[in-house]
Homo-oligomer: A and B are copies of this chain.
């Protein structure tokens, strides 16, 4: 029997995904995660100045000492929906709390979908009742939850890691949705992580922020933050490990694993980004500052002309250099260079006599690395991006109406 790799894998979690009629396709659109024993929770939210009703409510609720459940819907973002939208988000928490008999403040809420339409709240309430009766720690329950958060995703995205901490097996599992409106910070849309590690809330927050900074926040699909981006992590503490100490090797092992898990999810998002056929990693080195390195890497990964060239398998490196120059970072053209994987195409400010056929093959891979040296300093950063295809346009010209 295959091992459960979904969010119900860590001890102490039940999940469910149901269909309540929010998606026109009739697919799963409402999910619950419940930790009956209560979880320590933390979150990272969108940096967009306009935030959904769910984000507004969850920002308050996540301060609770214990979180018992997360309720999430797809098919409607409940953003730009005014006071009525806020009331709906509160109602989602209250209904979930009523079924599992906890305080509404101990329930987190997340929404994704079309912005600016009122939530069909009757469907949602019926969906919560339906879901509450089907909670399970089975793999299929975890997978149904994942299905319930998908929008334009073509496949579910889950990841799971198992490590030994103080002789106890600790499990971390995560699931995320893509697939557009993804830009640092935060390249997330919605992401849910469960773990049975024993950890304090402040340390869990620190570990989460670090992991997201090194993974989802390094991914850009179209450069924008949605109004709804949310990452929740819930720790049940049931693994039986010694409570994590921030100075211990166990904590380092936990955070390294969390980063690895989040990068796995980020890669899955990049490869399933709307219309994407390929992904790439941009490394910018030789920068005058960390901020410059990050800015230049994002500028390249976000630049439509680079994304189109990658789509066409075209080693059009001039567009990479143009994007870097346009980003406004400090650079020294006569010392600049650019490589596609290990192939130098631009060196000391001038083109090399590179093998075009070879370069074309590099860019045509499922994944390749672009390295740009700014020639001014010692700082380095990276960003993941994906190609821009005709299908991205089709998906986004037709979504909605």
Contacts and interface: CB of A to CB of B under 8 A. Distances in A.
23 contacts: A49-B329, A50-B322, A50-B325, A80-B349, A80-B351, A81-B350, A82-B348, A82-B350, A84-B350, A116-B351, A117-B351, A181-B322, A222-B305, A224-B322, A227-B318, A304-B392, A308-B392, A308-B393, A309-B400, A314-B401, A315-B401, A360-B401, A392-B393
Contacts of A393: 308, 311, 388-390, 392-393
Nearest to A334: B82
Interface in A71-128: 77, 79-85, 114-118
Contact of A224 (B85, B303, B309, B349): B303
A48 interface: yes
Contacts of A345: 116
Given A50-B331, A314-B398, 11 more contacts: A82-B350, A84-B350, A114-B316, A115-B319, A117-B351, A224-B323, A226-B322, A308-B392, A312-B400, A316-B399, A392-B393
Contacts of A226: 322
Interface of A: 48-51, 77, 79-85, 114-118, 180-181, 183, 222-227, 303-305, 308-309, 311-312, 314-319, 321-326, 328-329, 331, 333-334, 345-346, 348-351, 356, 360, 388-390, 392-401
Contact of A304 (B48, B222, B225, B317): B222
A274 to B, nearest CB: 9
Nearest to A388: B393
Contacts of A117: 318, 351
A326 B396 contact: no
